[in-house]
A and B are shown apart, each in its own frame.
Chain A
Amino acid sequence: MTDNKKIGFFQSGTPWVWLNAGAVSISMIMVIGLLVLIAVRGLGHFWPKAIWQIEYAENGGITKLIGERAKTESVSARQLREAGVKHNFEEEFVERTLLKIGNRDVYGFDFRLTLSPLENSASLPQDLIVLERTEWGNFYGELVAIEENGVSVQTSMEDLWDELSPRVKRVDELRDRISKIEKSEIGAINFKMEKLRLQTRAMELAGRDEADEKAGMATKKAALDEDYEALKSRLDVLYAEIRRDAVTLHVMTGEEVSINLSKVVKATRPNAMSTLTKVGHYFGNLIDFVSDDPREANTEGGIFPAIFGTVMMVLLMSIIVTPFGVIAAIYLREYAKQGFVTRLVRISVNNLAGVPSIVYGVFGLGFFVYVLGGNIDQLFYPEALPSPTFGSGGLMWASLTLALLTVPVVIVATEEGLARIPRSVREGSLALGATKAETLWRIVIPMASPAMMTGLILAVARAAGEVAPLMLVGAVKLAPSLPLDMNAPFLHLERKFMHLGFHIYDVGFQSPNVEAARPLVYATALILVAVIILLNLTAIYIRNHLREKYRTLEQ
């Protein structure tokens, strides 16, 4: 078309071809743009941000503001006037900044808006520090003093910072010890106590009344109580230890605020950092993010339980879905009579992959949780009733539901793999006297295994990203304990769990402080996307590799 100048531009169809090309281009730009957006916002979350000190003109005076610039946009001056800003701007457009000023416990809010023309000066003083706290969000200010047991530590102002870091580290170690005692040791005692309570209840229900059994339980309980008391006294010591130090900071309103170090997770001085230190902190933050528990209704801290829950659920699902999916595929392809019924079944299985995931969730809730779980509770856990054991959403039901959701994916992929194996290979095996089972087991399945692998990976990728059914069958905002721990039977299938996708939905849409949680949601999304893309790329790679392999076999 391009080299044939005799036809006109429109007549040649060139514009339409280009429009089609444009569609591909737009789709690709959207995919890449989306990934870049998530990557930039998600990765940016960990970079130590500069803290600005701004002299701001308002109410006829000058206010000092300290905070991070969270978002900057340009707004028309007219819009601002309509919104009630009494200032005559010379420019038509004004830069408006969302400033994260933190210190929610002092000011009552953590964000405010500033307009660039009203900023008299903006500087980055080196001595501004950020405290990440266990509650009330970040704290910004200037370090004034450090107190140990209520007595102020005598150092020069220059050395204060160097004095602070080791103390924060000390508190961090203490906190780790406390959480270890609280979570694993006291958790174990609580678990045993609950077990004892259920045993007693089971005895009552069974109508047994044996004195020695009761006495045994009582001694066990006494022993546990004793253990608990011992741990508690150890904890009290640690709590006293952790509360030893306090810092006093000068905040932007001029007040001096004292903060106990036991509430401080991390102290940084981002303005004083060199790029290299920032990189170091960046990776430190990243590691903390994937390994810490969430804080402050999930809007701060890490996402470790969500990652753990997702992985556990996906693992369990894989264990369930692989054998069943493969067996069903082998049945359909190798054993079932290839007739109308098989074709019908095949179409149905294909279609199930397109049935909305929420339908599986509804089925999971109605059948697994209420029918199966309810009956299991009646039969095996009557002592815990009326509080449900398996009769409410949990890890097992979520895995089963997702296994059902992804079984068509595995079946379709495995069948495709089985279909690709040339007849000649099978016939060769049978001709040598192998039975059908032997042919399948020794020849066909090994050859089709990459296809099964592809199916499994695709199933895992789908399961990891699916949220709608999990909302119904067991994913929760905040699970009190992980589904895997050191208490027998170690794997607690009935427990509720956290999930990355549900975490995104919950923090982004149900949290009280969406603005503060937004960077965290991007970071979580980034991790989820990274995992899923990796899985998919692997599946695509295996599939292409497989095609090449059989192409050579067929020739």
Chain B
Amino acid sequence: MDKATSTIETQAKVNWRWRKIKDEMMMRVVQVGGAAVIGAIALIFIFLLSVVYPLFEEPEVHESARYELPSVTLGPSLILGVEEQAEIAFRVTKDGSVLFFDVTNGQSVINYKLPISDDDAVLSVRNVSEASRLLAANLKSGGLLFFTHEYDLEFTETERIIHPKVVYPFGQEVIALSESALTQFAVGENEESLTVFFQNQEGQLGLTGFEKVSSFINDDVVLEEIDNSFLNSSHEPVALLVDPEQQWAYVLDDRGTLALYDIRDVASPDLQEVIDVTNKSSKPTSIEWLIGGISVLVGDDSGVVSQWFKVRAVGDVPYTLKKIREFKVDSSAVNKMASEQLRKGVVAAAKSGKVNFFYTTSERDLMTISATEGEVQHIAIAPRSDILLIEDSLGQISSWGLDNHHPESSASGLWGKVWYEDYQKPDYIWQSSSASSDFEPKYSLIPLTFGTIKAAFYAMLFAMPLAICGAIFTAYFMRPKMRTLVKPSIEIMEALPTVILGFLAGLWLAPYIEQHLPGVVFVLIFVPLGIILAALIWWRLPFEIKSKIPEGWEAAILALPIISIVMLCMSASTAVEAALFEGNIRIWMSESLGIGFDQRNALIIGIAMGFAVIPTIFSIAEDAIFSVPKHLTSGSLALGATPWQTLVRVVLPSASPGIFSAVMIGFGRAVGETMIVLMATGNTPVMDFGIFEGMRTLSANVAVELPESEVDSTHYRILFLAAFVLFMFTFFFNTIAEIVRQRLRRKYATL
């Protein structure tokens, strides 16, 4: 072996090895890259799911601490509360001490004493307003003392220190209401005024209204009595309530009836209604506001909590109380309830020591814990609903950590009818936000889904006949020369940005159709008739003329007649409107037919979105019809069938799966289309299938609301759920269509 050859051979070997390495590397790169792309696509699905999943997670609670009452010698608490950061809690005792302590271990932080004389005592304390942290102490001497618990924050280099304090917003004087101590009382308060509803030792129910007056000299606010009155009640009240706007007062008595008084005029309260709120077998034990001051929660001795609010009535009274829903807490009596401060959730304790969490709007019974061996005396939920404090009859406080982020969502809340506060009946409503903080969010996806389907339905109604008929003609009858023109045009139609279609639909088509409504109806009637008439004329024409233009150019011949018919219809529109509908068909429709008219309505959507869907359906259907094997049609024609017969009996049956899949894909596109519906509907989530009404679709809703929604809030996750529903829906329909198409292709291949 000579040297040169061996060098060449080693060279070749090196080369070969290098080439092998390159081959290997390329394979790796392609495999990793390919897998990464496919992984990225799968990530969409996984990520959407991971955002949606917490909506349906069960809430969790764990006991974080249990300690003896701080300053236990002062006796049990009259009230228990937690501040916003959930680090410091307070309790008020009989002698007027306000004791602030650490939530985690019960160690005392600071103690205050209310300015009451030594022989006086506090009988009870009530929360007046969670937002302003106002409390009212009921004194033995027959008056009320108002105070708030406030917190100063101090930031040092490393930590944040909270300094609690007690403030007297209306001065340190006791507001005297009666000679002797009050047995029951309730306070309603807002920015301008304050109303006290009480029962004195004589059993009289008293009502006193105050106005908040700011002093001229400093910022002090004092309460000035405006008016007062007394009302009689034959039964022993169990509890009293006044709403924050001080328009309504409630009296729950020991028979289990709830009386509703109109107290807009404090001097003459007006009894509106007396209603039985418990079963005959049970007795009410407690009553509490649900946050917002609209719903009343009534707990009874059979362990049931029911939610009530007033609904507009038909009879002579304007309002009547209605039981909206109820929750079973336990088999023993309900003795304490507390409402969450920012949501419509409730915590209720039963005599057995069981504590139950439930959420009113979504009707979710979230969880039950066994909080104590004894009886629950007080419940306090931190404003952010992350900590729950429970004081029991054994003189202990237990602190519970809550992990309860999305109680508002439930299958029944998202997809069922819900009776929202201030509504007349259960309904499907989407209203995700409002200006006020104690607003009850309404997350029903039904109106949005309904709107989506409505929009897609009208779009398909417009698109299907045009696209499928067009596809039939193009694939089966049209001259190849014309076909090479038509197909790219339709493909371009598919590429048109939907924002342009939406803009034209909203700003040009909608006002145009509003002005020419009768014309649109004429077009629907006269264009098909005109086409048939044109066909008949062509049929009757002598052969010499017909032979000039070969078959397969009918579509081109028809262009002129169609344009002229449409123009005729539109120009006749105004005249017809003036002659038949008193010049304004919209008013005529709403007066004599009761049909409302929105300028941006389902008709506009049908046309605009139909326009967007036509090319999708057209090109797939056309492919399916065109690829029907030629020998099938030739055979049919050879046996003497007319082309139309061949089409109907041979071509369409074998191409029908392809047409079906075209329709599926078109439907999928219509369901997910965003810009057209965003721009050409009024975006109001109404549930009306009328062609002249607007709608709001899932996709438009996501586009409008997602940028404004708070990350990881329930609203955010529900919008993700809407997107996920859209994703799954279109994916499902497209997969079916794709499988049908592949089957069809295989079938043709074997023919």
Contact surface of A with B, Cβ cutoff 8 Å: 1-4, 7, 9, 12-32, 34, 37-38, 73-74, 76, 78-79, 82, 92-93, 323-325, 327-328, 330-332, 334-336, 345, 347-352, 354-363, 365-367, 370, 404, 407-408, 411, 435-438, 440-441, 458, 461-462, 464-468, 471-472, 501-502, 504-505, 508-509, 514, 518, 521, 525, 528-529, 532-533, 535-537, 540
Contact = CB atoms under 8 A, between A and B. Distances in A.
Contacts of A14: 535, 539, 644
A222 to B, nearest CB: 30
B583 A464 contact: no
Contact of A468 (B40, B490, B674): B674
From A7, A73, A467, name the one whose CB has the most chain B CB atoms within 10 angstroms: A467
A34 B47 CA distance: 39
Nearest 4 pairs between A and B by C-beta? A356-B672, A331-B34, A13-B644, A465-B497
Nearest to B35: A331
Contacts of B491: 536, 540
Interface in B1-57: 19-20, 22-23, 25-27, 29-31, 33-38, 40-41, 43-44, 47-48, 51
Given A1-B644, A12-B644, A328 B37 contact: yes
A18 B531 contact: yes
A31 B44 CA distance: 35
Contact of A22 (B506, B528, B578): B528
Given A29-B562, A354-B730, A465-B497, A20 B723 contact: no
Interface centre among A358, A501, A502 (most CB of B within 10 A): A358
Nearest to B463: A27
A331 to B, nearest CB: 3
Contacts of B31: 331, 335
B469 interface: yes
B738 A360 contact: no
B33 A328 contact: yes
Interface string B629-665: 0000000000000111101100000000000000001
Interface string B387-402: 0000000000000000
Nearest to A41: B508
Contact of B735 (A27, A331, A351): A351
A324 B496 contact: no
Interface centre among A28, A352, A411, A502 (most CB of B within 10 A): A28
Contacts of B51: 366
A437 B26 contact: yes
Interface residues of B, number: 117
A536 B492 contact: yes
Nearest to A325: B37
A356 B723 CA distance: 9
21 contacts: A7-B642, A9-B536, A12-B642, A20-B472, A21-B557, A22-B469, A25-B556, A93-B574, A324-B37, A327-B30, A357-B672, A358-B703, A366-B720, A407-B40, A437-B26, A437-B27, A468-B678, A501-B499, A505-B678, A528-B499, A540-B491
A341 to B, nearest CB: 10
Contacts of B672: 354-359
Contacts of B582: 78
Contact of B500 (A3, A354, A528): A528
Given A82-B583, A472-B706, A505-B679, A26 B527 contact: yes
B702 interface: yes
Contacts of B711: 370
Contacts of A38: 500, 504
Contacts of B643: 1, 13, 17
A436 to B, nearest CB: 6
B673 A21 contact: no
B222 to A, nearest CB: 41
Given A355-B731, A360-B44, A465 B495 contact: yes
Given A24-B473, A327-B29, A437-B19, 6 more contacts: A21-B477, A28-B555, A501-B499, A509-B503, A528-B499, A537-B492
A506 to B, nearest CB: 10
Given A26-B562, A76-B578, A21 B499 contact: no
A135 B230 CA distance: 66
Contacts, number: 338
Contacts of A27: 466-467, 470, 490, 493, 614, 618
Given A1-B643, A9-B536, A350-B734, A355 B727 contact: yes
A536 B507 contact: no
B37 A350 contact: no
A404 B37 CA distance: 9
B499 A20 contact: no
B499 A356 contact: no
Chain B contact residues: helix, strand, loop or mixed: helix
B572 to A, nearest CB: 12
Interface of B: 19-20, 22-23, 25-27, 29-31, 33-38, 40-41, 43-44, 47-48, 51, 465-470, 472-474, 477-478, 486, 488-493, 495-500, 502-504, 506-508, 515, 527-528, 531-532, 534-536, 538-539, 543, 546, 551, 554-559, 562-563, 574, 577-578, 582-584, 611, 614, 618, 642-645, 647-648, 665, 668-669, 671-675, 678-679, 699, 702-703, 706-707, 711, 719-720, 723, 726-727, 730-731, 734-735, 738-739, 742
Contacts of A330: 30, 34
Given A363-B47, A472-B706, A20 B477 contact: yes
Contact of A362 (B489, B645, B702): B702
Contact of A19 (B528, B648, B707, B738): B528
A34 B490 contact: no
Nearest to B490: A27
Contacts of A324: 33, 36-37
Contacts of B707: 365, 471-472
B470 A24 contact: yes
A361 B23 CA distance: 38
A313 to B, nearest CB: 14
A407 B38 CA distance: 10
B709 to A, nearest CB: 10
B648 to A, nearest CB: 8
B559 A28 contact: yes
A527 to B, nearest CB: 11
Given A355-B730, A441-B26, A17 B498 contact: no
Nearest to A435: B23
A324 to B, nearest CB: 5
A525 B503 contact: yes
Contact of A518 (B23, B507, B611): B507
A521 B37 CA distance: 37
Nearest to B493: A31
Given A24-B486, A366-B720, A347 B738 contact: yes
B44 A363 contact: yes
Contacts of A352: 41
A502 B738 CA distance: 32
A2 B546 contact: yes
B466 to A, nearest CB: 5
A411 B33 CA distance: 12
Given A358-B702, A505-B499, A404 B507 contact: no
Given A328-B34, A354-B734, A31 B490 contact: yes
